[in-house]
Chain A
């Protein structure tokens, strides 16, 4: 199948989704629910990046909330503390986070398995403690507030609805380069790396450099989401970016479908509002959340979308994965 047909099929999936996203605010007018939808969009962005790392390159990170948080704090502090316009502070924050990811990534990505899990967890814990302890800069455990909203050429994105358009626009747009990457020779190299690093290396895939590049890219996605978070909510606290957030982001990847970008989207869209919906069960909330998660992982390990997507692709609809036949043929 030619790349252009694949791209068309992807777009065939993206446009109906964009339609749903465009129509949702007609139904959802309650600012609280709009807020949940906006948070969902930010999670989609972060999970898209994380999915490239976990689902495609097979490298787990339980430290992505740290990149999310660093993006939020740097952009927040630069704009509120140093008077930079958010439109400038956001790219600076993203650049800074990518630099941090590069510095951390070079030694950390030499590790594998549990050691990689621990190193990324440890990095996240260090960042959280620093955010709490460096009170003069970060405002300590009570958080950093007074962060101005983003404004695009005089149009301040200061309402839930205005931010909704930006956040979901970026969340959907963010899928496009991720999808293109997944289908390029780099993406195929990453998949090979996922299945067997040794075999990938033997086939001439520059394993070490690919791993680091994808790590930096996924950190960049998280940083964009984080910076947007800061300018939307106006306040950032260290607790929002602790290791439990990292676990949550990886869970979204898994529940949606590892290695499927649609999966990441639906995982985020399912797990972000779930705790809010379960609020009515009060003290049973955690039990139900844990139970739902457990059953999904036990009996739907390919994820909510993973399975659906396989059958859709087989019938010729747009998917992000190449069809099964083709994958088999190239093995």
Chain B
């Protein structure tokens, strides 16, 4: 039986990656609710945010906060560009075609980032000092706190946005019924672009938070993007509470699976549990019913 401190250690690292999965999953949900499209370029926003931040900190010598804001803005712009330049002019409205347009956009974005920043791994410095903190025998870095704390803030900001602002409420109306929303005078096209921009910003936020812990390269977002998608599905696609629960659940499952069972099989454990959940609840943990016979 593993000790309590080891379990705490696994829980801390699980919550850290889980928070990042949750941010990525929220990005998927934003886009899905506005457009019904699964945006497979979501993971690339994560890499893009980290890479812009790296260039601004290392090359331009900007302080942390302006660099962070510019990185988010840059990825938000990329997100809006995916909607305006790739999806909106597309001839087909068939969801399958639109989804694979985002796959093509993802290949293009990755190609561009590889070209601009190269293939090598880069190191993004942590946000504050690197001295590990110790609680009850478990060690963690201040960056772990940043990840969890900033993610909580982002979730709070999003729930205020959707609950209190007119634009946020309009987006919820659009998610419920796009046609009715358009008839009520809501600018659904503009909101579609906005949802992609927000998703870009959320992805970049995930990127600047986690890449000081993992590593940074043009394709770091690929796997994170997939895990975020898995988290969104686990929680119930399109559901906000589900994205957070799914992200944290997946992160915890991975780190506990790696620590207690086998690190080589951690992805297998996570995905087997995911499949098992889907078999029992085809609509995800918090989703509304979508499965069928």
Interface residues of A (CB under 8 A from B): 54, 60, 107-108, 110-115, 117-119, 121-123, 125-126, 129-130, 133, 197, 207-208, 243, 247, 250-251, 254, 258, 283-287, 289-291, 293-294, 297-302
Contact = CB atoms under 8 A, between A and B. Distances in A.
B278 A293 contact: no
A112 B111 contact: no
A298 B105 CA distance: 11
Given A111-B291, A114-B233, A298-B91, A287 B282 contact: no
Interface string B252-291: 0000000000001101100110110011001110000011
Contacts of B101: 294, 297-298
Contacts of A301: 90-92, 94, 97
Provide the main secondary structure of the chain B interface.
Answer: helix
A291 B271 contact: no
11 contacts: A107-B279, A115-B284, A115-B291, A117-B38, A121-B229, A122-B274, A125-B267, A293-B107, A297-B97, A297-B100, A301-B91
Interface residues of B, number: 47
Contacts of B109: 290
Interface of B: 32, 38, 86, 89-92, 94, 96-97, 100-101, 103-112, 114-115, 226, 229-230, 232-233, 237, 264-265, 267-268, 271-272, 274-275, 278-279, 282-284, 290-293
Given A107-B279, A298-B86, 11 more contacts: A114-B38, A117-B38, A126-B271, A247-B103, A287-B111, A290-B106, A290-B109, A290-B110, A293-B103, A293-B104, A301-B90
A290 B283 contact: no
A116 to B, nearest CB: 9
Nearest to B238: A114
B115 A121 contact: no
A112 to B, nearest CB: 6
A287 B279 contact: no
A276 to B, nearest CB: 16
Contacts of A125: 226, 267, 271
Closest 4 CB pairs of A and B: A301-B92, A286-B111, A290-B108, A290-B107
Kindly name the residue among B92, B94, B111 whose own CB sees the greatest number of chain A CB atoms within 10 A: B111
Contact of A119 (B94, B100, B275): B275
A22 to B, nearest CB: 33
Nearest to A297: B101
Given A130-B268, A287-B108, A258 B115 contact: no
A208 B293 CA distance: 6
Candidate in A123, A133, A254 with the most chain B CB atoms within 10 angstroms: A254
Contacts of B86: 294, 298
